[in-house]
């Protein structure tokens, strides 16, 4: 009898010892952090982190300091399906940190549970930080009883954020949150280094709060944590096309921008060439419709050639924008010579040899075609309203979309002049009958061509100098563009004005004369302590080109104004008073 009792006690002690060993396998500790691991016997695992007082570990995105807490597995795939809401805090007013103190939970999805070995890697910090890792063999951990598992799940879920889905336009990083406009919140990406966290902007509006951010990475932010005083949300971000994302919308925008381009200062040098072509008598009985067609073909070819060259240069790693051809001293010098020759022929100082004149005369539409071609090369480096946004969109898309948008630009640009070509009666009704006056007007029209040649020559002279940047001679303190200095001043809350310009951009020069050198602008700069920066793209400058692209633009002029840590892109012809708003 005594022998049987002893045997039973031995078996009971063995079972208790085995149970205790299995329990010990589910709990592992470092000096300051303990992890309890639980599972349901199928594919769900809960990890409970318990930190010593005054010690913490980091969230999956630690913020500006620290290392993320990571979960990996051997012999199995593991996915973190939920994790506790971290504590978000700001250090030195500019650095963000996301961490766990006291207790935190991780919910895992694990396949092949019996063979899985799960490792938790983290850095525990107090005044010092220590990297640690703990590994669990799931085959050595018993499944939790149903009631215990249910209780554990409820305890963990109380610390998890609510899952939601938010939509951002595909062409920009922007979310609209349906919360009270005065709610303080943290917006934190779940992964580090996907976006520039210093660029995150929150702006209250009538519908709640808008959140915007910038990213230099090719991948988009897919998930973010939104923490408010009352609740936290884990937002899956979906990117969808909106009206402004569609190719059709951008084609319409490009077409309108092309039409408006005809009224821009950049077109002034070519106007006399267009008028001269209109006044000439039709050649060989060419119909007005054919004249319009040849002019349109010249414009279209010029636009598409420039677009294809830009695509090729960008694929070769060059950061160039619209109007890049005038950054080349060779091109500018050749065009200056071409316009000088045009002036000499228009002013009857030089004459085509008879055989050449007859050949040109026999080429149907030659004048119209060349007028259209040169009208683009010289007159279109500046970006008119709508045009800059369309070009910026185009070069973030496929080659087919680039060509579609540039075709729309070309057709819009060609339309006004082509209509005049198609219906010359309207022009003839307001002009006197052909006579000696046409020879005089021809001389007058040649003067702008000469001025264009002189203008191009001055740009060429500037470009061949060793230093193309010339400081502004007014009392305003313009500095060469410096991205780091701008970022530093912006962090300090300083007002900043950035001017992307070039000597060959007539719209830029027009705005400089009538806006940037106006007394109103000077007074605004002094009264609001505005730091002024200029990015001179007269010649190719890789850093300036990259900066231009970072604002979603590929054409100049571009004006950017920073105020209270945020920036906005100004209209092409902005009003100084609008900066005060």
Q: Tell me: the pLDDT tens digits for 504-522?
A: 776 788 788 888 988 889 9
Confidence of residue 22 (pLDDT cuts 50, 70, 90): very low
| Residues 64 and 44 occupy one common structural domain | yes
Q: Is residue 448 in some structural domain?
A: no
Query: With pLDDT > 90 as the criterion, what percentage of the chain qualifies?
Result: 23
Q: Is the pTM higher than 0.75?
A: no
Q: Is residue 453 in some structural domain?
A: no
Task: Give 575's contacts (C-beta < 8 A, 6+ positions apart).
Answer: none
**Cβ atoms of residues 200 and 90 within 8 Å:** no
- Count the neighbouring beta carbons within 10 Å of the beta carbon of residue 464: 12
| Residues 408 and 499 occupy one common structural domain | no
- Choosing from 196, 224, 242, the residue where a domain stops is 242
Q: Is 537 helix (H, G, I), strand (E, B) or coil?
A: coil
Looking only at the bridges linking them, the beta strands covering 478-480 and 531-536 are: parallel
- Arithmetic mean of pLDDT, 257-284: 66
- Expressed as residue numbers, the domain containing 76 is 21-157
Could you tell me which of 287, 228, 274 has the C-alpha nearest to residue 85?
Answer: 228
**Which two three-digit tokens encode residue 222?**
């897919």
Could you tell me which of 215, 175, 169, 208 has the C-alpha nearest to residue 191?
Answer: 215
- Count the neighbouring beta carbons within 10 Å of the beta carbon of residue 334: 13
429 pLDDT above the threshold of 70 = no
- Arithmetic mean of pLDDT, 533-544: 81
Q: Per-residue b/e over 367-378, b at no fewer than 16 CB within 10 Å?
A: bbbbbbbbbbbb
Q: Is residue 467 in some structural domain?
A: no
Q: Strand (E) positions, 84-138?
A: 87-91, 95-101, 103-110, 117-125, 129-137
- pLDDT of res. 360: 44
- 438 CA to centre of own chain: 51
266 pLDDT above the threshold of 50 = yes
β-sheet bridge partners, residue 559: 499
- pLDDT of res. 424: 67
| Residues 218 and 300 occupy one common structural domain | no
Confidence of residue 116 (pLDDT cuts 50, 70, 90): very high
| Residues 407 and 321 occupy one common structural domain | yes
- pLDDT of res. 372: 79
Residue with tokens 């920066």: 533
- pLDDT of res. 307: 81
Confidence of residue 52 (pLDDT cuts 50, 70, 90): very high
Distance CA 225, CA 299 (A): 50
Residue with tokens 């951002």: 168
- pLDDT of res. 280: 60
Q: Per-residue b/e over 131-147, b at no fewer than 16 CB within 10 Å?
A: ebebebebeebeebeee
- 134 CA to centre of own chain: 42
Q: Is 275 helix (H, G, I), strand (E, B) or coil?
A: helix
Distance CA 574, CA 572 (A): 6
| Residues 493 and 556 occupy one common structural domain | yes
Cα torsion 219, 221, 222, 225 to 10°: value is 160
In this structure, of 42-56, 287-301, 543-557, the range with the lowest mean pLDDT score is 543-557
CATH number at residue 217: 2.60.40.10
| Residues 180 and 79 occupy one common structural domain | no
Q: Is residue 575 in some structural domain?
A: yes
**What's the total number of domains in the chain?**
4
100 pLDDT above the threshold of 90 = yes
**Which two three-digit tokens encode residue 164?**
């939601």
**Cβ atoms of residues 362 and 281 within 8 Å:** no
In this structure, of 177-191, 198-212, 280-294, 518-532, the range with the lowest mean pLDDT score is 280-294
Q: Is 48 helix (H, G, I), strand (E, B) or coil?
A: strand
| Residues 122 and 256 occupy one common structural domain | no
- Choosing from 157, 190, 223, the residue where a domain stops is 157
- 482 CA to centre of own chain: 18
- pLDDT of res. 278: 62
Looking only at the bridges linking them, the beta strands covering 162-169 and 496-501 are: unpaired
**Cβ atoms of residues 532 and 499 within 8 Å:** yes
- Choosing from 201, 227, 242, the residue where a domain stops is 242
- pLDDT of res. 356: 42
Helices in 201-267 by DSSP H: which ranges? Answer: 247-261
β-sheet bridge partners, residue 135: 119
Residue with tokens 């078996």: 11
β-sheet bridge partners, residue 189: 224
Q: Is 151 helix (H, G, I), strand (E, B) or coil?
A: helix
Confidence of residue 553 (pLDDT cuts 50, 70, 90): confident
Residue with tokens 């969109």: 393
| Residues 367 and 292 occupy one common structural domain | yes
- Arithmetic mean of pLDDT, 164-173: 81
| Residues 207 and 121 occupy one common structural domain | no
Distance CA 470, CA 266 (A): 22
| Residues 507 and 573 occupy one common structural domain | yes
| Residues 286 and 356 occupy one common structural domain | yes
| Residues 323 and 371 occupy one common structural domain | yes
Could you tell me which of 17, 162, 9 has the C-alpha nearest to residue 82?
Answer: 162
Could you tell me which of 418, 428, 427 has the C-alpha nearest to residue 290?
Answer: 418
Q: Is residue 420 in some structural domain?
A: yes
């Amino acid at each position: 009898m005594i022998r049987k009792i002893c045997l039973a006690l031995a078996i009971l002690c063995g079972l208790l010892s085995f149970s205790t060993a299995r329990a010990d396998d589910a709990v592992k500790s470092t000096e300051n952090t303990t992890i309890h691991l639980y599972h349901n016997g199928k594919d769900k695992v809960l990890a409970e982190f318990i930190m010593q007082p005054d010690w913490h570990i980091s969230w999956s995105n630690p913020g500006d300091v620290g290392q993320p807490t990571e979960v990996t597995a051997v012999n199995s795939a593991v996915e973190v399906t939920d994790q506790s809401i971290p504590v978000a805090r700001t250090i030195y007013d500019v650095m963000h940190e996301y961490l766990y103190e006291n207790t935190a939970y991780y919910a895992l999805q694990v396949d092949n549970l019996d063979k899985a070995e799960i490792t938790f890697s983290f850095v525990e910090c107090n005044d010092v930080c220590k990297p640690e890792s703990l590994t669990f063999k799931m085959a050595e951990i018993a499944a939790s009883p149903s009631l215990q598992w249910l209780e554990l799940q409820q305890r963990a879920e109380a610390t998890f954020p609510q899952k939601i889905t938010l939509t951002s336009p595909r062409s920009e990083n922007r979310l609209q949150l349906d919360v009270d406009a005065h709610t303080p919140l943290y917006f934190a990406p779940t992964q580090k280094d996907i976006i520039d966290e210093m660029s995150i902007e929150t702006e209250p509006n009538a519908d709640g709060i808008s959140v915007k951010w910038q990213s230099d990475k090719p991948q988009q932010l897919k998930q973010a944590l939104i923490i408010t005083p009352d609740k936290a949300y884990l937002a899956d971000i979906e990117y969808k096309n909106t009206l402004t994302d569609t190719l059709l919308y951008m084609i319409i925008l490009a077409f309108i921008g092309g039409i408006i381009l005809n009224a821009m200062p950049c077109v002034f040098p070519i106007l006399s060439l267009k008028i001269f072509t209109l006044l000439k008598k039709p050649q060989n009985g060419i119909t007005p419709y054919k004249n319009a067609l040849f002019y349109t073909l010249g414009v279209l070819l010029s636009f598409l050639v420039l677009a294809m060259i830009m695509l090729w240069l960008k694929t070769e790693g060059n950061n160039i924008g619209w109007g890049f051809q005038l950054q080349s001293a060779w091109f500018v010098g050749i065009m200056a010579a071409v316009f000088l020759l045009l002036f000499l022929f228009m002013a009857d100082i030089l004459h085509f040899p008879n055989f050449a004149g007859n050949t040109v005369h026999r080429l149907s539409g030659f004048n119209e075609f060349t007028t259209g071609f040169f009208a683009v090369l010289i007159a279109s480096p500046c970006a008119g309203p709508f045009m800059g946004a369309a070009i910026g969109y185009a070069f973030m898309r496929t080659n087919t979309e680039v060509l579609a948008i540039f075709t729309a630009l070309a057709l819009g640009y060609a339309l006004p002049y082509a209509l005049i070509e198609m219906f010359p009666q309207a022009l003839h009704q307001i002009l006197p009958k052909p006579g000696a006056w046409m020879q005089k007007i021809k001389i007058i029209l040649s003067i702008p061509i000469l001025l264009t040649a002189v203008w191009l020559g001055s740009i060429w002279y500037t470009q061949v100098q060793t230093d193309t940047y010339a400081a502004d001679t007014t009392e305003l303190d313009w500095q060469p563009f410096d991205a780091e200095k701008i970022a530093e001043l912006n962090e300090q809350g300083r007002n900043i004005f950035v001017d992307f310009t070039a000597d060959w951009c007539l719209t830029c020069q027009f705005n400089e004369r009538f806006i940037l050198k106006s007394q109103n602008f000077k007074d605004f700069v002094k009264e609001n302590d505005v730091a002024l920066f200029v990015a001179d793209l007269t010649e190719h400058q890789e850093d300036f080109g990259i900066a231009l692209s970072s604002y979603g633009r590929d054409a100049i002029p571009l004006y950017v104004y920073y105020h209270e840590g945020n920036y906005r892109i100004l209209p092409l012809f902005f009003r100084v008073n609008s900066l005060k708003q």
